[in-house]
Amino acid sequence: MQFGLVYKNTALFNLGTEIAKPQGSILVWILGSISLMLSFYVIYRGIKLFMKFVWGAMILTWIMLAIYAGVMLSVNPDIVAAGMKTLQNIDYQAVLNQAASLGWQKGFFSVAATIMAGITYMNLTCLGSTYSANIAGEIKRVDKAQPLAQYGSIFLFIIYYQIYTYVTYHGVGIDLLQAISKLNSAGQDAAIFKAFPQIPYLLVYATQNPILLLLGGPFAWGLINWVGAMGLAFAPVRNLFAYAFDGMLPPKLNEVNRRGSPVYAVLTGFIISWFQFTVNCITPLLSAYQTYTITIWFFGWIFLSIAAIIFPWKRKDIWEKAPEVTRQKIFGAPAIVVAGVLGLIISLAAVYFTLVPSLIGASVYAQLPALLTSFGFYMILPIVLYYYSMSVNKKRGVPIEKRFKEVPPD
C-alpha cells in the first residue's frame, strides 16, 4: 500500500487494500492459508527451527525500531502533514477538525483507556514470560527462570514501547494519533486514509525511501507479528497433546513420530486454526474473539487468582512443601494469596474496562451476534466437549473422574 502511494501505482495500492480486508477477500484467504501452513510446518519441525525464526524476528524487531525511530526523530508534524498532502491530498488540520466534530478535544486524556492499555501490556508481558514455557516444555528451577522471564519481558517491552511511542509522538504528533483513534472508533478513518492507518502505516508520510519503508514499516511489522503468532500456536498444540494425554481427546493426538514431533496434534491444531481463519474470512461472527481477546484472557485469570487465594488452605500438603519464595509472607498473609488478591482485582477491572465501553455504546446491538456466537464457540463448546468426553470414557470403563483425585494413603 505504501509503495503504491510512493510510486503512484494504483494497482499496487489496491493490492494492499485488498490484503487489508477483514472479510470477503480470496487473496487474504490464500495468503493466510499459506501463512498458517508455514507456521504449523515450523512447529512440526520442532523447537530448533522455530528458535531460528524467533532470533531472526528479534533482530528484525530492533532493526525496525532503529529505522523507525531514526525516521521519526528526523521529522516533525509539519513534515508529516506535508507528506499527507503530497501523497494523498489529506489535510492534517482537516483530520483534526473532523475528529473534533466527533467530540475529540486537544489534550484529551482517558483514565479508563490508560488503565486498559496498561493491563493489556501487562498481559502481553505475561504472554512473553510464558512463551518460554510453551516452547521449551517444562521449566526447571522456576525460582530463577520465571523472575528472569517475567522481569526480562517487562523490561524489554517497556524499553521498546517507550521508544516507539515517544518517537511517534515526536514525528507524527500526539494530536493526529488521538484524532485517528477517534475517527477509527466512529468508522471514519478508512474514508480519509483509504486504509486502516495503523502507526507503522504513518511512516510513509515521514519518508518515501523504499528501503526504510520496507524495514521500518508494516512489512517488517507484519513479519515480526507472524513469528510471534507462530509461537502462540505452540500453546494449543501442547494443549491438544496434553488433553489427549489426559484421556480427554483421542489417544491418536498423543502420538509422536520418530523425530518426537506430535504430528497429529500439530495437524489438528492447523485444521482448527485454518477453520477459524476461513470462517473469519467469510463472516465476522467469530471475530469477537479478536475484539475481546483481553477480556477472555482476564476472565480465565479470575479463576487462576481465586485458585491462588485458596491454595495454601485447600492444598496444605503441597503448600508446605513449596519453595521458600512461594511461602514468604507479606503483611502476615502468604505472598501467593496477596498476588491472588491483586490478580483478582486487576482481572475484574480488566474484564470491566474491556466489556463496558462496548456494551454501553450505541454499537451494542451490532456487536451482539458476534459476541454471542464467539462466546458459544469458544466458551460453551469446550464445556460440551468435555462432558461428552467424560461420558465416552465412562462407557469404556475408564475411571476418568478418579484420574486426578488423590488416592487416600491410609
Partner 1 sequence: MSLFGNNKKIRIFFTTDVHGSTVVFKKFINAAKFYEAQIIILGGDMVGKMIVPLVEQADKSFRANYLGKVYDVKMGEELEHLEQNLENSGLYPLRLSPEEVRAFDEDKSLVEKRFGQLAAERVAKWMQIAEDRLKGTDIKCFIQPGNDDPYEIDSMFIESEHVKNVDETIVELDDNHEMISVGAANPTPWHCPRDLSEDELSRRIELLANQLKNPKNAIFNLHVPPFDTNLDSAPELDQNLTPKLSLSGGFKMASVGSKAVRSAIEKYQPLLGIHGHIHESRSAQKIGRTMCINPGSEYGEGVLRGVLIDLSKDKIENYTFTQG
Distance in Å, CB of 154 to partner 1, minimum: 16
In 3D, which of 203, 3, 192, 178 has the Cα closest to residue 91?
192
Map the footprint of partner 1 across residues 191-250, applying CB under 8 A: 245-247
Nearer to partner 1, 8 or 405 (CB): 405
Map the footprint of partner 1 across residues 364-403, applying CB under 8 A: 396-400, 402-403
Nearer to partner 1, 51 or 345 (CB): 51
Distance in Å, CB of 40 to partner 1, minimum: 18
For residue 329, what is the enclosing H or E element? strand 329-330
* 317 belongs to the binding site for partner 1 (CB under 8 A): yes
Of the candidates 79, 126, 145, 163, which one interacts with partner 1 according to CB under 8 A?
A: 145
Nearer to partner 1, 46 or 361 (CB): 46
Q: Which residues of 223-238 are buried (b: 16+ CB within 10 A; e: fewer)?
A: bbeebbebbebbbbbb
Determine the 3-state secondary structure of 333 from DSSP.
strand
Cell 469477537 sits on residue: 288
Distance in Å, CB of 223 to partner 1, minimum: 20
Which residues face 329 on adjacent strands? Answer: 334
For residue 7, what is the enclosing H or E element? none
Strands of 164-317 (E only): list them: none
Distance CA 100, CA 97 (A): 5
Determine the interface stretch with partner 1 among 19-27, 106-114, 314-322, 382-390 (rule: CB under 8 A): 314-322
Distance in Å, CB of 68 to partner 1, minimum: 28
Distance in Å, CB of 346 to partner 1, minimum: 27
Of the candidates 119, 135, 213, 237, which one interacts with partner 1 according to CB under 8 A?
A: 135
Distance in Å, CB of 237 to partner 1, minimum: 15
Alpha-carbon 15 to chain mean position: 26
Q: Render 350-404 in DSSP notation, one character per residue.
A: HHHHHHHHHHSSTTHHHHHHHHHHHHIIIIIHHHHHHHHHHHHHHHTT--GGGTT
Distance CA 296, CA 76 (A): 39
Q: Are 265 and 241 in contact (CB under 8 A)?
A: yes
Distance in Å, CB of 115 to partner 1, minimum: 32
User: What x-and-dash track marks residues 239-268 binding partner 1 by CB under 8 A?
Assistant: ------xxx---x--xxx---x--------
Q: Are 128 and 157 in contact (CB under 8 A)?
A: yes
Nearer to partner 1, 149 or 213 (CB): 149
User: What x-and-dash track marks residues 10-49 binding partner 1 by CB under 8 A?
Assistant: -------------------------------------xx-
Distance in Å, CB of 38 to partner 1, minimum: 20
For residue 233, what is the enclosing H or E element? none
Residues that bind partner 1 (CB under 8 A): 47-48, 51, 132, 135-140, 145, 149, 245-247, 251, 254-256, 260, 317-318, 320-321, 324, 396-400, 402-410
